[in-house]
Amino acid sequence: MSKKKKVWKILDGTYKPKKRPVGKQDVERLIAAVQQECFWDDRDVEVWDEINAGKIDWSGEQINATKRKR
């Protein structure tokens, strides 16, 4: 996407930035929000849903669902 198109999409309100994967910083911010040190935002809710779905743990590490147990 060229810079002109991106600028016009931002001005029109149709631009959606690329989604970042959930990392350790996001989990640390969520922990601070749970402890009421800061307010919850959309990213915190997204991280909370990822943890409850079992995709990541509280350390920010991805949970591998494809591990074989012997």
Q: What is the pLDDT along the chain (70 residues), one digit of tens a residue?
A: 677 788 888 888 887 778 888 889 999 999 999 998 888 888 899 999 999 998 898 888 888 766 666 6
Q: Is the dihedral of CA 7, 11, 16, 21 positive or negative?
A: positive
- pTM over cut 0.85: no
Q: Is the dihedral of CA 43, 52, 21, 13 positive or negative?
A: negative
Beta-bridge partner residues of 59: none
User: With contact defined as beta carbons under 8 Å apart, do 46 and 40 qualify?
Assistant: no
User: With contact defined as beta carbons under 8 Å apart, do 43 and 26 qualify?
Assistant: yes
